[in-house]
Amino acid sequence: MDEDDHIRVAFEGEIDLESSEEVRRVLVGAVTRSELTVVDLSAVTAIDSSGVAGLLDGHLTAQKRGNKLALSTPSAPVSRVLNLAQLDTVFSFVEPSAEP
């Protein structure tokens, strides 16, 4: 896949009720413009259910369009929430070195 065929999005800080709508808007916009959207979550310090919902909206929008959203380097707090919600099997994950 060419570099032009994917978009990389990075978030930092907390993804919560206050910021989740912006996260959703950014992700839905990205997945509608690209075959692959890679979401870097390494600098996210906390995520709540509204933040997870924003990630899921991006994921589902990508699927509907035949595109893919993949998470990259989720921080420990993000990994913990995804594991507890059993969403670690829903999302695709990509290592930074494996990004196209």
CA 27 to each of CA 23, 61, 74, 84: distance values in angstroms, whole numbers, following the listed order: 6, 9, 16, 23
**How do the domains of the chain map onto residue ranges?**
3-93
User: Which of 46, 38, 53, 57 is closest to 15 using CA atoms?
Assistant: 46
Please choose, from the candidates 73, 81, 1, 65, the residue with its C-alpha nearest in 3D space to the C-alpha of residue 27: 65
Q: What is the pTM of this model?
A: 0.90
Using 50, 70 and 90 to split pLDDT, how confident is the model at 97? low
- pLDDT one-digit tens code per residue, 32-90: 999 999 999 999 999 999 999 999 999 999 999 999 999 999 999 999 999 999 999 99
Question: Domain 3-93 class?
Answer: alpha beta
pLDDT of residue 96: 77
- What per-residue confidence (pLDDT) applies to 27? 98
